Amino acid sequence: MSLSKENKTTHFAWLKHPQNFLFFKIFIWFWLTVIGTITSLVFLSNLAINQVSNEQLQGPMLKNLEYAAKSFERIALKHKKSAADILQHPRLAKRKLLYLNSDQPENSITSRPPASDIDLSLVNFTKNMSPQVIFTENFVAFGPIKTTFPEGTFYLYEIDENNQPPFLIRLKLMPIWLKIAVALVASLALSFVFSRNLIAPINHLKQAANKLSQGDLTARANINENRQDELGILGREFNSMATQIEQLIAAQKRLLADISHELRSPLTRLKMATGLAQMQAEDKNQTYLLRIEKEANQLDKMIADVLQVTRLEAKSQPLSLHKQSMQVIITHVLNDAQFEAKQSNKTLHIEGQLNVDINCDESLLASALENILRNAIKYAAQSIYIKLTLTDVINIEINDDGPGVEPQNLARLCEPFFRQSDARDRTSGGTGLGLAIAKNAIAAHAGHLTLHNQTQGGLSVHIVLPINEQP
Which residues contribute to the site for another protein (CB under 8 A)? 257, 260-261, 264-265, 267-276, 279, 296, 300, 304, 307-308, 318, 320, 322, 324-325, 328-329, 332, 361-363, 366
CA separation for the pair 251, 259 (Å, rounded):
12
**Shortest approach of another protein to residue 363 CB, angstroms?**
4
Nearer to another protein, 173 or 328 (CB): 328
Nearer to another protein, 34 or 309 (CB): 309
Q: What is the largest CA-CA distance in the chain?
A: 159
**Shortest approach of another protein to residue 200 CB, angstroms?**
38
**Shortest approach of another protein to residue 270 CB, angstroms?**
8
- For Cα atoms 361, 366, 368, give the angle at the middle one, nearest 5 degrees: 100
Nearer to another protein, 361 or 400 (CB): 361
Nearer to another protein, 53 or 371 (CB): 371
CA separation for the pair 154, 168 (Å, rounded):
32
**Shortest approach of another protein to residue 293 CB, angstroms?**
8
**202, containing H or E segment:** helix 176-213
**Shortest approach of another protein to residue 433 CB, angstroms?**
13
Nearer to another protein, 234 or 259 (CB): 259
**Shortest approach of another protein to residue 283 CB, angstroms?**
18
DSSP string, 24-93: HHHHHHHHHHHHHHHHHHHHHHTTS-SS-EEEE--HHHHHHHHHHHHHHHHHHHHH---HHHHHT-HHHH
- For Cα atoms 181, 186, 188, give the angle at the middle one, nearest 5 degrees: 95
Spell 291-316 as b/e; 16+ CB within 10 A means b.
ebbeebeebbebbebbbbbbbbbeee
Nearer to another protein, 17 or 261 (CB): 261
Nearer to another protein, 319 or 410 (CB): 319
Among 408, 423, 422, 418, residue whose Cα is nearest residue 453: 408
**Shortest approach of another protein to residue 391 CB, angstroms?**
25
